[in-house]
Amino acid sequence: MASEQQLQAIKNSKVLMVGAGGIGCELLKTLALSGFQDIHIIDMDTIEVSNLNRQFLFRQSHVGQSKAKVAREAVLRFRPHISITAYHANVKDPEFNAEFFKQFNVVLNGLDNLDARRHVNRLCLAAEVPLVESGTTGLLGQVTVHVKGKTECYECQPKPTPKTYPVCTITSTPSKFVHCIVWAKDLLFAKLFGDKNLENDLYVRSNDASNSSEIVRDPFEQRESEDPEKYGQRIYDHVFGHNIEAALANEETWKNRNRPKPIYSMDVLPDKLVQQNGNFENSTVADPLSVSAMTSLGLRNPQDVWSIVENTKVFLESLKLFLGKREKEIGNLIFDKDDQLAVEFVTAAANIRAASFGIPMHSLFEAKGIAGNIVHAVATTNAIVAGLIVIEAIKVLQNDVQNYRMTYCLEHPSKKMLLMPVEPFEPNKSCFVCSETLLSLEVNTYHTKLRDFVEKIVKAKLGMNLPLIMNGSALLYEVGDDLDEDMVANYEANLEKVLAELPSPVTSGTRLTVEDLQQELSCDISIKHREEFDEEKEPDGMLLSGWGQAPQVEKDDEKPVGHKESTLVVSQLVSMENEENGEIEIILSGTKRTLSQTFTASTSTSCGTDGNGGDQKFEVIDDDDEVVILNGWNSETVKKKKVL
């Protein structure tokens, strides 16, 4: 039962919610039922059919409508006397600036991407408004509190970069199913149906030319008057047969690897089955996304693992349907996890390649999860996290700093607990967002253009949306609606110049100031010239130091990664012990996080003990392909504190 003081704090508060999805629906309902009177919601998304199994404020009739507005209407039906203001908009829009944020007592996040989270974090710091962060991934969840000057900000904790795979592994020596998915989605699908002008690393050796003097045609190009069945068989034989044989010719590659097996369509399907595969009509359909090879072939269960014969039939049928039913889209298609035919094609292609390389095949359900970066959401986790958000929000409204907690929902009990509270960490003094930290950038100033610096460093890594870049008093680049044409043209021209040839040259020793006026964020970057970079380890051709980026972490490739519910990024977690009466919490000594306390990367995805009394490990994956792994809990580094 809430105390009178808590009820008064709730009643007098003005709350901003960002996100009206899985967590957002539960959160709005819980806020309304807890007595909050003035709630504002921002969400740019519209309702999709796939939302309806867990976002319970929405119904079939709401599909296509604004999430924020429909959520508002749904809650007002059972709490008609409270005030709910809905914004169908992007939280990064200019109207939602620091001044807008200052009107609220607390901001509650239920977002689904890292970029928006960083943006809200910076606006909360600028407005000096407390932020309660949250996220779920399947059965895992978390709630964290961020108060300027008292706890670490959202960006104090390093966010690991997603695991990337060398092109040679994807194209030549796959060893995991995810390698086959990447090959099928980003190379084969893109080559056949995407923009023909984009570079593609798919190996295109052709067997058509009998000698080097003959002009070699692109084997992926459909020939004049070539019927879809023949074209499909030719593509199949080329990528799963001829290319594998060509790869096998390099004996050195397979000295310490299992040799793949070439697969040809005629080896899998009898001639009559190839010709009679599905029903083909050269016509368009009202809803292209409803076209399905599975339906044509009578395959019903997406959780079945297809045989090599079934995968071959799905591959040929899906290719034929693209050519016949969706011909106008070819050349502009990008893989979409909600495109049934695209998922079917990628699943079949990945499975056939997996079979060739001796890798276990997967169901369409599993392949879709991997290809679309999905961990299927659990409504119960969302509800638990929403309740925890409200608990922390009430503490914030009462300025109850001593009782702030970061709380983690675990998939398996740890010391008989599924909810694990941890004291928040103090601000990280090396965080460039909430502390004044000088960043360092190694870059070839004679080869790198200002455009590369803006796109790859300022926007991609520092998360600035409307950057302003200065070298001393010289303004090198600026973005804004109030700029005249001459200024815009001048800045556009600067983007195409290498750093050392800018009007105010950027060379080794230069100190750049980068600002985002919307986020009210500014940082300094010290430039150090460097001649060469490792293309595989440093693909950007630049190396930024001091911004708290964690090392790359490899995911468990056999499981889906991330989902569209709400991202989950975990700070360092510590274990709990039940030594006296079950009320002992173990926290980091002094609740201060130092660089040496940052988590260690691992590839474990279990949660709980290792079965031998060893260290506990678990992995959290977010929809931006971030992986946070908690590893090596050591009771010697923590102290015990009574939970009141």
**What 3 state SS string does 236-280 have?**
HHHHHHHHHHHHHCCHHHHCCCCCCCCCCHHHHCCHHHHHCCCCC
Amino acid letter, 381: T
| DSSP single-letter state for residue 564 | S
Q: Could you tell me how far CA 180 lies from the centroid of its own chain?
A: 20
Centre a 10 Å sphere on the Cβ of residue 17 and count the other Cβ atoms it contains. 27
Task: Please give the helix or strand (H or E) that residue 398 lies within, else none.
Answer: none
Q: Could you tell me how far CA 400 lies from the centroid of its own chain?
A: 33
Amino acid letter, 399: N
Centre a 10 Å sphere on the Cβ of residue 199 and count the other Cβ atoms it contains. 6
Relative to beta strand 511-516, strand 106-109 is unpaired
Relative to beta strand 584-588, strand 638-642 is antiparallel
- Supply 283's token pair: 């016509």
What's the alpha-carbon Rg for the chain, to the nearest Å?
27
Nearest by Cα to 381 from 389, 391, 369: 389
The upper half-sphere exposure of residue 406, i.e. CA atoms within 13 Å in the direction of its Cβ, equals: 28
The whole-angstrom separation of Cα 126 and Cα 97 is: 9
Handedness of CA 495, 501, 505, 506 (dihedral sign): positive
The whole-angstrom separation of Cα 570 and Cα 568 is: 6
Nearest by Cα to 110 from 46, 14, 22, 10: 22
The whole-angstrom separation of Cα 413 and Cα 415 is: 6
The whole-angstrom separation of Cα 423 and Cα 145 is: 10
Is residue 607 among the annotated active site residues? no
**How many residues are there in the chain?**
644
| DSSP single-letter state for residue 455 | I
Phi, psi of 109 (to 5 degrees): -100, 135
372 touches 115 (CB < 8 A):
no
Nearest by Cα to 189 from 309, 315, 53, 8: 315
Residues 25, 153, 156, 168: which is the catalytic one? 168
419 touches 391 (CB < 8 A):
no
Cα–Cα–Cα angle for 421, 427, 432, nearest 5°?
A: 130
- Supply 325's token pair: 């039913």
Centre a 10 Å sphere on the Cβ of residue 547 and count the other Cβ atoms it contains. 21
Active site residues: 168
